[in-house]
Structure 1
Amino acid sequence: MFSGATGVGKSLVIGALNFILGGRATSDIVQSGKDEATVIAKFHAKDESILKQIKRVSGNNTIEEELLIQRSIDTSGRSRCRLNGIPLTVSMLKEIGEILVSIHGQHEHETLLHGINQLYILDDLGGISSLREDFSEVHQQVIEKTKMRDVLRNNQQERRQRMDLYAFQIEEIDKAQLREGEIEELEKEKNILNNAEKIYTTITSCYLHLYESPDAVVSRLKSVVKELQSIAKLDETLLKIFDVCNQLLYQTEDAAFSLGKFRDSFNYDPQRLEYIEERLNTIRKLKMKYGNTIEEILSYHDEIQVKLKQLSEEKTTAEQVDEELKVLSDFLRQKGCELTRKRVATANKLAPLIDKELHELGMPHGKFLVQITSPFLPDGGNSQASNAHSYGFDQIEFLISPNPGGDLKPLRKIASGGEISRVMLALKHQLAKVDKTSVLVFDEIDANIGGRMGEVIGEKLSSIAKSHQVICITHLPQIACYADEQWKVNKFVKDNKTYSVIENLSSDARLEEIADMIRGSEKTDITRKQAQEMLRDAKKKIKSKNVMKNNLTTSEHE
């Protein structure tokens, strides 16, 4: 519990909490002449589910129960955040802060005012959070299946076009009946055919010179051989020359015979040349499409043949996924209907409990209602899976009517800060057992209420503090006397600089502070006795409630 005169800096406590929990901050909070402002906070997160959430957000699975959070901001406005020495982003720190602490104040947008948080509270109270998580899993499957179906629908035409293209390309390459080394063979034959006339004329001329003309080389060589034969035996050298000429005659005759044979068999076919030109042109076109060589074209052919087979064997179609999606959507609606039914039952139980709390908190005519908008209720609308959220089909709104004759209105639209604070307190008192937020902060919960109601609020805060860490800023002694510990905020000036300090009050100092809160600086012995009596009565009531609670627990076990 924090107390102190107006203006001493109690709001700094809330400001520091907001800062360490990832709230928006500017460099204005850095003290003049300093490089940065730093806030350090230590939390003990004993609840395993809270630890699990913090591990998920931070990405650190080594986190233990004790959490040391540090945040600094320098004069340039740059923030640095750490959790147990490990850096965090501001957004991560904000998410962790929302898990650990809930701040309720006149000018704060409390988490309880948001519909989604109201829905989570209702589910926690009804013990149906696990059902909501099951729904969320199915909902995620529906989203994924819907995306798959849409992708398949968009890709089916593209898939068919690709299959048609691959089939055409395979047919085109197959039709060409390519052979490795074929281009070289065709180019060689083409070169011969392009020079056919020259080849034929040259061969004929050479053949005539060697064999058929009157002075043919063969005839003249025969004469030479015949003449040398008559004298070859006379000298060994002449014999050798004869042998050479005789051999030359045989070779020339053989060459002439080969030329004649080649000439007789040589056949120039213009159609063959045309075929070769067309064949090479076909191969050139295939090379432009599928590869630089016949080897590359054939390799591409084998590759697309495999792809065509894979596409042909794909059995998952948009229609098949649609069938699966229909089954999932039906299951989702079934889960959603079950969630709605259990939420309505929980809401019906919660309303009278909150009504009772409001009456005790000075709103004797206050009425509370949980409004559930669902397609599974009369006139609820469409229950298609596309209208679902991860938490179900339902929209939750807490409604309140603080005054007699007033209409029930959304809690978030209530203008009075004091009324909001009391409704928050009523809800927190009822939901303390299921709300897993470790720390609850109530900023000036005593706004617009008197001392009599302050005592009721003090009792309820004390009850909540049995299961939560409660931090409260108050001006009412009736509330302060129910605190387990009381801290006083003081302000002083030193060297022309203003400082705010927080003092943990001993029992005597606390008595003086309660007396100050009753009458101010003009307190008397009578005021001190009043303060002492208030502290004693608060202690008795707390003790009495604890005894009653223990007896009730014992009887329940029996």
Structure 2
Amino acid sequence: MNMLTALSIKNYAIIGDVSVEPDTGLNILTGETGAGKSIIIDALGMILGDRANVSMIRKDFSSCEITASFYIKNHNRIFSFLESMGLRAEETLVVKRDFYRDGRTKCFINGAPSTVGMLQSLGEYLVDVHGQHEHQSLIKPETQRLMLDSFGRLDGITEKVSRQFSEFTDIGKRLRELLNSEREREQKLDIYRYQLKEIESASLENFNEEDAVNEFNRLNNAEKLAENASGTYSLLYDSEGSVTEKLGAARRFLENLVSIDGTLAEHLNSLLSAEETLKNVSEDIRSYRDGIEFNPRRLEDLISKTELLKRLKKKYAPTVKDILKYASDIKKEMEFLEHADEAIEELTKDLKSAEQKLKKSALELSKLRLDTAKKLSNDINKELADLGMGKAKFCICVEPEKDEKGGYVYKSFGIDKIEYKISTNPGEEMKPISHVASGGEMSRVMLALKTSLARQDKTPTLIFDEIDAGLSGPMGQAVGKKLKALSDRHQIICITHLAQLASFSDAHFHITKKTIDNRTTISVKRLTDAEKLEEVSRMLGGAVVTKATIKHAEELIKQAK
């Protein structure tokens, strides 16, 4: 069975160092009030991506460390999730989270660094926590709808409706903008026309910014360029005692030497080559000098264009390419605005078509919800009967919501108003479950819901944090039977104060709070059969364990088997 196999907690709240190794089946956690049972569940929540609270770090420590191990051999969804995240997938999954007083958090999945968001996503596949205060969320319409859709496995159709609703509202928004803002349209067109004119005046289509910069540098420094080119040419070629003249004289001397001593012929060739190179350089410098352009008007044009480009970059986009793209985009928008009447007609058709599609899907979803509501209501009524509420009647009302004109009210989740109702006594009218006064009744309604939903749920580990709140002992026994049956399909971890429920445990853990060297800490111990008997006896009789309570405990444990 896929399940939580180990939980290690260090320096969290009053916990110094605690390790728990839950078993398959029904795991019961007991202990005196305030012993720290719920703290263990809170710590597990950190592994599942709950928000870290630095005040929960144990006093005098800078950080806390929480590690959980899960056996996931047969959990294909988790394997797929890990692989999609580029993480190693193995039979054992180890999740670790450290958080520090300065607010930092470090998360690891199978040793690989990860994020809190990844822990949250992973946690949805691993553990489902049902707390003693979850009853409040049960009265929320959103929670009721999500539970119904989950039971009916309606993810596909709900996603389709949500997508079609987005398309419908987007088209409606564009249509309203066109219908209600003619003046605004004209204002936009005026702005776009001005912007387009400004961009087009810069003639950027064939403009190369790098070439323009080079040309500007040449024109702006034409006098200096001409002066240096002339000086270079004069020294190399066009002056008395030029480099060319001196190199020619040297060449003639060397020719005389070679005519006498041929060993210097190679040097003569080098000198001839240098003389040819010097001639070519001199000619190129002269051509460059003669081609230098003195064009003040062109320089002014370049300066103006450069300044305009700076303004355009500041106003529209950081590059010429992006400015041209912006111009192209506003041309398309102008065309749309200038043909608003045609657009209104087209959008009206699109809106009608989108509404027809949405209506069809929403009605299909509504029918599926009605069918699902009947099935879930029947299941819950059976569960309530098992929990001592056989005279109660539970139903899920699914009613399409309409406006004053009789049209459907579309929302992202469909058209249905969903409400859970119950009558706890014969002859009483059905009322919203928020009107159920008894905490014990609400606990049993919650457990009935969770039990029914768990049959469809693939989450391996279900945690119940004192879901038996407000229940009497006999009802605790009914809850225990229900959790025991549920543990055939899921690993169950349950915190309880009821001996009747605890007697059903496959593994019983006792949590003790104690003070050592003036520091409060807690310890967790898995009880032997004898210790379990003693603990159930204590839960029945309080601080004093008597022969009568032991006998009663033995009977409870025997009945639970």
| Shorter-chain TM-score tier | 0.5 to 0.7
For residue 479 of structure 2, what is the aligned residue in structure 1?
A: 457
Larger radius of gyration: 1
Alignment of 1:323 with 2:349, yes or no, is yes
Which one has more relative contact order, counting CA pairs under 8 Å at least 6 apart? Answer: 2
For residue 231 of structure 2, what is the aligned residue in structure 1?
A: none
Equivalences for 1:173-322 in 2 at 5 Å? 311=332, 317-322=343-348
Give distance in 1, aligned partners of 2:329 and 2:142.
50
For residue 34 of structure 2, what is the aligned residue in structure 1?
A: 7
1:115 and 1:396 in contact (8 A); partners too? yes
Aligned residues: CA RMSD: 4.5
1:372 and 1:396 in contact (8 A); partners too? yes
Give distance in 2, aligned partners of 1:468 and 1:94.
20
Structure 2 residue aligned with 1:388, among 385, 394, 411?
A: 411
Structure 1 residue aligned with 2:490, among 448, 464, 468?
A: 468
Q: Which runs of 5+ in 1 are unaligned?
A: 174-283, 293-302, 540-558
Q: Provide, for residues 240-279 of structure 1, a one-character-per-residue CA deviation record: whole Å limited to 9, x for no partner.
A: xxxxxxxxxxxxxxxxxxxxxxxxxxxxxxxxxxxxxxxx
For residue 357 of structure 1, what is the aligned residue in structure 2?
A: 383
1:139 is paired with a residue of what secondary structure?
A: helix
Alignment of 1:418 with 2:444, yes or no, is no
For residue 156 of structure 2, what is the aligned residue in structure 1?
A: 130
Give distance in 2, aligned partners of 1:55 and 1:117.
31
User: CA 1:167/1:529 → structure 2, altered by over 3 Å: closer, same or farther?
Assistant: closer
For residue 33 of structure 1, what is the aligned residue in structure 2?
A: 60
For residue 83 of structure 1, what is the aligned residue in structure 2?
A: 109
Give distance in 2, aligned partners of 1:86 and 1:124.
32
Q: One-letter code of the match for 1:20?
A: I
Alignment of 1:442 with 2:464, yes or no, is yes
Alignment of 1:102 with 2:128, yes or no, is yes
For residue 23 of structure 1, what is the aligned residue in structure 2?
A: 50
TM-score, structure 1 normalization = 0.62
User: CA 1:388/1:431 → structure 2, altered by over 3 Å: closer, same or farther?
Assistant: same
2:77 and 2:125 in contact (8 A); partners too? no
Q: One-letter code of the match for 1:348?
A: K
Per the TM alignment, residue 146 of structure 1 is displaced from its structure 2 partner at its CA by: 4.9
Alignment of 1:368 with 2:391, yes or no, is no
Q: One-letter code of the match for 1:12?
A: I
User: CA 1:163/1:35 → structure 2, altered by over 3 Å: closer, same or farther?
Assistant: closer
Q: Provide the aligned length of Structure 1 versus Structure 2.
A: 416
1:150 and 1:318 in contact (8 A); partners too? no
Per the TM alignment, residue 334 of structure 1 is displaced from its structure 2 partner at its CA by: 0.5
Per the TM alignment, residue 27 of structure 1 is displaced from its structure 2 partner at its CA by: 2.7
Structure 1 residue aligned with 2:146, among 96, 100, 120?
A: 120
Per the TM alignment, residue 514 of structure 1 is displaced from its structure 2 partner at its CA by: 2.4
Give distance in 1, aligned partners of 2:559 and 2:513.
31
Per the TM alignment, residue 39 of structure 1 is displaced from its structure 2 partner at its CA by: 1.9
Per the TM alignment, residue 502 of structure 1 is displaced from its structure 2 partner at its CA by: 0.9
User: CA 1:80/1:99 → structure 2, altered by over 3 Å: closer, same or farther?
Assistant: same
Give distance in 1, aligned partners of 2:505 and 2:454.
17
Q: Provide, for residues 376-402 of structure 1, a one-character-per-residue CA deviation record: whole Å limited to 9, x for no partner.
A: 7x9895425xx321x222232222344
Per the TM alignment, residue 25 of structure 1 is displaced from its structure 2 partner at its CA by: 4.5
Q: One-letter code of the match for 1:474?
A: T
Q: Identity over aligned residues, as a percent? A: 35
For residue 449 of structure 2, what is the aligned residue in structure 1?
A: 427
Per the TM alignment, residue 413 of structure 1 is displaced from its structure 2 partner at its CA by: 5.8
Per the TM alignment, residue 319 of structure 1 is displaced from its structure 2 partner at its CA by: 3.5
Give distance in 2, aligned partners of 1:139 and 1:51.
33
Q: One-letter code of the match for 2:451?
A: H
Alignment of 1:485 with 2:507, yes or no, is yes
1:71 and 1:79 in contact (8 A); partners too? yes
Per the TM alignment, residue 93 of structure 1 is displaced from its structure 2 partner at its CA by: 4.0
Q: Provide, for residues 471-500 of structure 1, a one-character-per-residue CA deviation record: whole Å limited to 9, x for no partner.
A: 111122221122221111122222122221
Per the TM alignment, residue 501 of structure 1 is displaced from its structure 2 partner at its CA by: 0.9
2:513 is paired with a residue of what secondary structure?
A: strand
1:486 is paired with a residue of what secondary structure?
A: strand
1:353 and 1:430 in contact (8 A); partners too? yes
For residue 506 of structure 1, what is the aligned residue in structure 2?
A: 528
User: CA 1:472/1:170 → structure 2, altered by over 3 Å: closer, same or farther?
Assistant: closer
User: CA 1:492/1:393 → structure 2, altered by over 3 Å: closer, same or farther?
Assistant: same
2:439 and 2:469 in contact (8 A); partners too? yes
2:135 and 2:442 in contact (8 A); partners too? no
For residue 366 of structure 2, what is the aligned residue in structure 1?
A: 340
1:373 and 1:380 in contact (8 A); partners too? no
User: CA 1:291/1:495 → structure 2, altered by over 3 Å: closer, same or farther?
Assistant: closer
User: CA 1:382/1:2 → structure 2, altered by over 3 Å: closer, same or farther?
Assistant: same
Which structure is higher in strand share? Answer: 2
Which structure is higher in helix share? Answer: 1
Give distance in 1, aligned partners of 2:65 and 2:329.
64
1:455 and 1:478 in contact (8 A); partners too? yes
1:120 and 1:129 in contact (8 A); partners too? no
Give distance in 2, aligned partners of 1:76 and 1:309.
48
Give distance in 1, aligned partners of 2:541 and 2:199.
99
User: CA 1:415/1:336 → structure 2, altered by over 3 Å: closer, same or farther?
Assistant: same
Give distance in 2, aligned partners of 1:509 and 1:31.
30
